Each structure stands twice: as C-alpha cells, then as structure tokens.
Structure 1
Amino acid sequence: MNITERIGAAPMSGYQWLIVALCTFMNCLDGFDVMAVAFTGPSVTDEFGLNGSEFGLLVSVGLIGMALGSMLLAPFADLIGRRPLILISLALGTIGMFGAAMAPSATVMGVFRLVTGIGVGGILASSNVMTSEFSNAKNRGLAIGVFTAGYGVGATVASMVAKTAVGGDWRIVFYAGGFATLLALVVIALLLPESTAYLEKRRPQGALDRINRTLARMGMDSVSWADLDEAASARAGAGKTNSGWLKQLLTPTLLLWATFITIMFGFYFVNSWTPTLLVEDGLSESAAVTAGMAISIGGTVGSVLYGVAARIRTPRVVLIGFSLLAAAMMIAFIVSTSVLWLGFGIGVLVGALINGCIAGAYTVGPPLYPAQLRSVGMGWALGMGRIGAILSPTIAGMLKDAGASATQLYVGAAAVVAICAIVLVGLRRHDPESTPAVEEPKAA
C-alpha cells in the first residue's frame, strides 16, 4: 500500500483530527467572507448608492475570484505543495479583507473582493483535499462534514459581528474578517504539515523525514525509500490507462459539475441575498440579520448531520434526499418569515439542509476519480460550481430590478436545487460507492 492507502486503513488519530480542525478553521473564513457581504448588504448599498444589479455584481465578483482561485491556483498545489499554496492564499485573503474594509468606493471594494475570492478559492481547493487525504476511509465522510460545517461557524460569527454593527460602521465586519484571516495565516504556518501524498509523489528535499515525522504523530510506522519506490512503481503501472482518462471520466465529470453548479446556485442565493430581500420585504434590518443568522446556525450542524447519515446510507442517496428537502424548506422559509419565530425555526432547517448538500458534493466527488487525478478533478469541480455561485446573486439582482418578489426569487432558486436530485440519479452508474451496494448480495 502507498501512504494514502495506509492512512485510509488505519484508525483515526488525534493528530489527524487536529488537521481536520485546522482545515475547518480555514473553511470558516469562506463562511465569514460570503456572509460579511450579505449581512452588510443594506449598509453597503446605501453608502455607495447601489441598485440591485450593482450589489449583485459586487457579490459575484468575489465568487468569480473564488472560481479563479479554485481552478487556476489548485494545480500549483501539485507543484509547490499544498501547505505553501494555502499560506499564499491566506495572505491574499488577508490583503483582500483589509482592502475591502478601507475601500472608498464600490469599484475599489470590488477589486479587493476579487483578491479575497482568489485567496479563498485557493484555500478551499487545497484544504478540502487535505481533509480527505488525512482522514481514514471509515471517517472520511464525517471529517468532510465537519470541514464543511466550518462555513456555518464562520457565517454565524459574521452574523454576530454584523448584528453589533447594525446602525454603525459596516467596515467593522471586514476588519474582523481581515484579523481572522491573519490569525489563520499564523496558526497554519505553525501547525499544518505538508500533505504526505504530495511529499510521496514529488519527493522534495527532506521528503522522507517529513513524511515519517507526520506518520509518527499519527501513531503509524515509518516508511523507507524502498516502500516509496514500490508504491511509485505500482502507480506507474496503473498510470498506463491515464491517456484515456478524459474519455472514461467525461460523463461523470459533467454530472459532478452539474451537481456543484445547482447546489452552489441555491447555497449562495440563500446566503448572499436573504437579509437584503427580507429588509425590502418589510422586515427590520435587525430582524433580517436574525433570520440570516438562523440559516448560519443551521449550517453549523447540517454538514455533520450529512456525514453521520452518509455512514449509514450511500452518500449519493443521502445527497438526493438533502437536495429535495432543502428545496422544499427554502419555499417554506420565505412564506413564513412574517412570523419571526417560525421563520427562524425553518431558517435553521434551510441552513442545515443546504450546507449538508455542500458536504455531500464534497463527499460524492472524490471517489469518481483515481488518486492521481483527484486533486485536479475536485479543483475543477469546485471552480465550475462557482459558476452557479456567480450566476445566483447576479440573476437574482436582475430579476429583483425587473420586479420579482422575494417569494418568486426563492421559489426559482429552490427549483434549481431540486434539479440536483435528477443529476444525482444519472450519476448512479458512475459512482463506485453505489455500484458495490447493489452487487455485493449477488456475489454472496
């Protein structure tokens, strides 16, 4: 077995859970960043005199940056290492958040939102893979669920900071995000190891010592150069089929992209537009932030709930259920917000389900690819998923300016999320975790 397979078969150590926690902390930055724009939307719109389309563009430019970061920065993780790329991305995120906080105009703010997005995209692509690589097979779904829950934690913190800033200076929210990203940069530089899979494949200077130090911290036996050479030879033999990988994986790749696009469309609509739409629908800004906070709170537990469910049923099947329920609860939420306590309760469910859908996409995607293509495959899936994230706030802004109500916008976004279930049905015969579940009884 190579190192990745050894980690997959061994028990999960406390050090591995620490790495998952560090990656989760980085994912918190994504939640804080997106919701910082959403919760300060009314104040930013007033200060810069923006209409719906212009505010939607301001939200989208950050998401464009995330797409660029995921698709263009992620491949460099295989060249310079996952850890250096994460540190570079955190530095970009820090600059972007502080720059947005000091922006004198919407245009300048948009530039720094793009920089922040590029940094966040690079962080997500690398930290998601690191979470998978340092988790064993039994707990990988749960670990990815915990990782995804970081978004909800960050979003909840953003909502709390924004709530204290209501009626004050919205820039406080972005300053807080800048300091949080700077803190993450320091903590990650001190504690996060390099990916053992990267060290095994690229073999930079001192690779063996770094691998064995990490394995020792995980309570695993050390390896030798002979072990690495044997694993490399096995991969080289398996690599003979790589020339036809595009043809073999084209259909599942397109279906995975469609899964990410539809989920992220609904996810970023809910997280980007909810407070602004509710204010314009008659709620006070404080009540709208409270409703948005309910979605964030639900998000902190929804992805973990998905991870637990995925240990019982096939992850793809669980994701079908989550996407359908999320679509139904989105509609129930928007028609119930006039009763604040009811809207709050349903908002928690919406946050839990839509965040669970993100965890599901992260879990369903990696098994579709062989190990040597997994990082690139997931990086591009994340990048393509940002198309849905980019289109969501932009289309919502255009439709809002055309006279669409909050209810109509929510129903439309829910329909897009429901399409995900249809896509996942088509993915069944390509999913290696679905096929064995059907064939095992026959083999018995």
Structure 2
Amino acid sequence: MNPTDKSINVQTLLNESRITAYQWATYALCFFIVLLDGFDTAMIGYIAPSLIQEWGVSKPALGPVLSAALFGLAAGAISAGPMADRLGRKRVLVGSVFLFGVACLASAFSAGIEQLTILRFITGLGLGAAMPNAVTLTSEYCPESRRSMLTNAMFCGFPLGGFLAAWMIPNFGWRSVLMLGGIAPLVLGVLLFVILPESVRYMVVKRWPVERIRAVLARIAGNKVLAAESFHLQEASSAEKPAGSGMGVMLSRQYRVGSVMLWLAYFMGLVVFYALMNWMPILFKDAGIEPRTATLIAALFPLGGVGAIFFGWLMDRYNANRVIALGYALTAVSIWAIGQVVGNVGWLMTVVFVAGTIMNTAQSSMPALAAAFYPTQGRATGVAWMLGIGRFGGIAGSFLVAELTVRHLSAEAIFTVVAVPGLIALVALLVKEFAHPASAASAGSERDRNSAAIASH
C-alpha cells in the first residue's frame, strides 16, 4: 500500500518520539535475559575446578561438559531465528526462557558428568533461542539514532552475570549457581509473558490488525497515532528489498557476503571468548597462582564488557564495521599480552581487565551490527544465525585449549595462539564493508532517507 497522510511510518514515529517507560521496560527485560546468558556462560568455567575435585574427572574430560551448552546454543539459535520471523519474537522468547530455566535448575541436582552434560545441552537450547530474539526485539523498539548504543547497553548484562558466578562459587558452592541460574529465568519468564510487547515492526510486516498496532504505539507516541488508518515501514525500495522468508532474505544476493562475514567474525570472537572463559582459571592455577586468586582474576575478563556502550555510541555516528574491526585488532594484541605477564599477579590483573574490556566490547557490538544490517522480515533469522553459527566458535575455543594443554604448551604459547582469531575477525569485517559499502554508513544516512521519504508525502 502506498503511504498516505493517514499511514504512519513506524520507524519514523519511533525516531521522533522520546523513549518512554514502556520502551525502557522492554529494554530492561531483554537486559536481564542477556545477564542470565552471561551468568550461565561464565558459571561452567568457574565450576570446572570444583568438578575436577568432587568427581575426579581429568581436564581433557571436561571438554564435553564445557561445550555441551554451546552445541545447544547453536542449535537453539539457528532454529529459533526463522521460527521468530514466522511466529513472532515474544512467543519464541518466552518459551525459550522457561526451557533454559527448567533445565538449569535440574542441572543443580546432577549426579555425574554425563547427566550434567545432557542438561547443559538442553539449557543451551533455551538460551540459544532467547538471545537473538532479545537482540531483535530491543533493536526494533529503538530510535535509529540510538539503536547501536541501546542494543550494546543490553549486553552489559553479560559480563555482570559472569562476575556474579565467580563470587558465588567460593561462598556457596558450585550447585548454588545452577540453582540461581534456574530459578531466575522462571521468574523472568512470567514477567516476559505479562509485560513484554510483541515487536511493533514485526506486527506491521506481518499485517496484524491496525487496532493492535495502534494500541502498542499509543503507549509510545500517545495521540499521534489515533488518527492513523494504517502503519508501514520504509526500510528499502521495493526494487532492493528481498522477498520471501527470513532464510531467503539472509541468503539473498544482496545480503549473502555480509552474512558469511558476520558469521566468520562472530565465530572467531567466540573462539577467543570461550577459550579464555572456560580455561583461564585452570591455566592461571597451573601457572602457580592460588586457585581463589586465579578465579577472581579470570572474573575480571568478562567484567570489562561495559565498554560496549561507548562502542555503540561510536557505531551510531561512524562506520560501524571499522569501529568493531579496530576492536578485534586490539583484542589480538591484548590477548597476546596476557601470556607475557602471567607470572606477575599485579600486571596480570590489569592486562586481563583491559583485554576483557576490548574483547567483550567488540564481541558485544556484533549483534547490533547484524540487527542493523538486515530488514525486518529477515532480522531475527539473520541475528540468530550469526549467533548460532558463532557458537561453534565457542566449541572450537573450548577444545582448542584442551588440545593445547594436552600438548603441554606454555601459558605464553597458548595465549599467543588464542590471539590469532581476533585478526581473522578483523579481516572478515573489512571484507563485509568492501562488499556492502552502503550498509557500513552511519545510521544517520538511513534516518535522512526515511525522513525525506515521509516528508514527500
């Protein structure tokens, strides 16, 4: 339908309206989903030394339990993205949160390594489905001028979750973190069901009744929407917009190269992240650092992710691909530096924190980059597949360090090897920019085009 004076462009309305308490509530709920993901992701690395002591398992035997949730995360994300583009963001999000809550709570009562591995996989299925939908829903309620910053701010919950896990284990035991990791999402799931709205952009694309769309937008823009007879989006011209399912959009000629480069960059980032998250406490302990100190130093690594807000601000104003690529370049240097100072606790604390700040800032910025890259009809699928395929990088990272320890490499050599994927991620983002120069422009360019299109009507 051609836009008329009685038809409102939803994104323009969001751009021109102040952010309301209704939107902040949506952002907050998605923030807590990411916090729980960070809590769950970090806990297993901190639990590992306790499993070795209590169950007598060897370090190489920890590989399956450390990576089980990652297989689930990959499977959950890859399947849930297309599902959310068909059924809606909220429906899939609520179901997935309940799934990982039940599975994580059951994990607290595991009697052995095999049972824990199975339950970690199921937990991962739920988390994998929840994360991309939280990213997509947040992005689709943001004004374009602040989309990257707000989406990245949501990911600050990820490192906070890891820090909480590191604090709980020495004080309450490893089963306590699994219990909290199960109860919290069950409570959150109820809140999501009652409070969380469906994506208004999704409702427009799927041609939901005007009354339902108007009811949501009235919570944001008030009386501005009362006279509207219809709502529309203007994301691209009809000649440019790929048709079909979310998969069709993601793999279309227009988006194919960018999709593959997003997968590669996120994959390599998670090779680094999970290699360090799962193994740093053990590597530091083997280097002669007291176990409690080793755990607390390792906890500084995910705590550094708060820099994502600054990167989001930069991404909203400058070339987002180049901003994140620089982050990955600095990641490679800082990870290498950890291996150079592992014998000095003071310097180690500083370098681990700096490395974590840079690494998590770059990696946490990737979902916002993907969400801005795809149109609404393929956004959940595009974000989910990047997150899902990227999770295999986490699996590779976990097994990479396991193999390096079997080969008896020094800590310095291990950190040097782990730094290399950061350079590969850098190259991938530069290739994406070269293949899709228009998508690398700042969000302001698209805002200008949308404003001009609306003004013409």
Taking structure 1 as the reference length, what is the TM-score of the superposition? 0.90
The answer on whether the counterparts of 2:319 and 2:441 sit within 8 Å (CA) in structure 1 is no
Match in the other structure for 1:248 = 254
Greater shift, 244-253 or 399-408, is seen at 244-253
Residues 1:219 and 2:221 aligned together? yes
Match in the other structure for 2:148 = 141
* Matches of 1:14 and 1:341, distance apart in 2: 43
* Matches of 1:135 and 1:312, distance apart in 2: 15
Residues 1:287 and 2:293 aligned together? yes
The answer on whether the counterparts of 1:302 and 1:351 sit within 8 Å (CA) in structure 2 is no
* Matches of 1:313 and 1:241, distance apart in 2: 26
Match in the other structure for 2:124 = 117
Deviations 1:112-167 (A, max 9, x none): 101110110111010000111011101101111111111011111111112324xx
The answer on whether the counterparts of 2:315 and 2:442 sit within 8 Å (CA) in structure 1 is no
Aligned residues: 431
Match in the other structure for 1:307 = 312
Greater shift, 337-346 or 413-422, is seen at 337-346
The answer on whether the counterparts of 2:285 and 2:294 sit within 8 Å (CA) in structure 1 is yes
Match in the other structure for 1:191 = 195
* Matches of 2:330 and 2:233, distance apart in 1: 44
The answer on whether the counterparts of 1:149 and 1:303 sit within 8 Å (CA) in structure 2 is yes
Residues 224 and 398 of structure 1, relative CA distance in 2, 3 Å threshold: farther
Counterpart residue type for residue 279 of structure 1? K
* Matches of 1:223 and 1:340, distance apart in 2: 62
* Matches of 2:380 and 2:198, distance apart in 1: 15
Match in the other structure for 1:406 = 411
Residues 281 and 370 of structure 1, relative CA distance in 2, 3 Å threshold: same
Shift in Å, 1:426: 1.3
Identity %: 25
Shift in Å, 1:103: 0.6
Greater shift, 315-324 or 114-123, is seen at 315-324
Shift in Å, 1:286: 0.5
Greater shift, 213-222 or 379-388, is seen at 213-222
Residues 1:132 and 2:139 aligned together? yes
Shift in Å, 1:356: 0.8
The answer on whether the counterparts of 1:368 and 1:431 sit within 8 Å (CA) in structure 2 is no
The answer on whether the counterparts of 2:155 and 2:308 sit within 8 Å (CA) in structure 1 is yes
**Of 328, 331, 355, the match for 1:323:** 328
* Matches of 1:140 and 1:93, distance apart in 2: 28
Residues 184 and 405 of structure 1, relative CA distance in 2, 3 Å threshold: farther
Match in the other structure for 2:339 = 334
The answer on whether the counterparts of 1:94 and 1:178 sit within 8 Å (CA) in structure 2 is yes
The answer on whether the counterparts of 2:135 and 2:368 sit within 8 Å (CA) in structure 1 is no
The 3-state SS of whatever aligns with 2:347 is helix
Alignment of 1:39-438 (within 5 A): 39-165=46-172, 169-203=173-207, 207-220=209-222, 221-222=224-225, 226-228=229-231, 231=232, 237=238, 241-242=242-243, 246-299=252-305, 301-429=306-434, 430-434=436-440
The 3-state SS of whatever aligns with 2:57 is coil
The 3-state SS of whatever aligns with 1:40 is helix
* Matches of 1:106 and 1:381, distance apart in 2: 30
Deviations 1:282-308 (A, max 9, x none): 211111111122113212x12112113
* Matches of 1:176 and 1:367, distance apart in 2: 34
* Matches of 1:289 and 1:198, distance apart in 2: 43
Counterpart residue type for residue 253 of structure 1? S
Greater shift, 270-279 or 43-52, is seen at 43-52
Shift in Å, 1:240: 7.1
* Matches of 2:89 and 2:20, distance apart in 1: 21
Deviations 1:71-130 (A, max 9, x none): 012222133321121111111111111121111111110111011101101110100001
Residues 283 and 59 of structure 1, relative CA distance in 2, 3 Å threshold: same
* Matches of 2:227 and 2:264, distance apart in 1: 42
The answer on whether the counterparts of 1:306 and 1:359 sit within 8 Å (CA) in structure 2 is no
Counterpart residue type for residue 401 of structure 1? V
* Matches of 1:271 and 1:240, distance apart in 2: 40
Counterpart residue type for residue 313 of structure 1? Y
Q: Which runs of no fewer than 5 residues in structure 2 stay unpaired?
A: 1-7, 447-457
The answer on whether the counterparts of 2:153 and 2:308 sit within 8 Å (CA) in structure 1 is yes
Shift in Å, 1:261: 0.9
The 3-state SS of whatever aligns with 2:142 is coil
* Matches of 2:165 and 2:314, distance apart in 1: 28
Shift in Å, 1:319: 0.7
Q: Which runs of no fewer than 5 residues in structure 1 stay unpaired?
A: none
* Matches of 2:226 and 2:76, distance apart in 1: 34
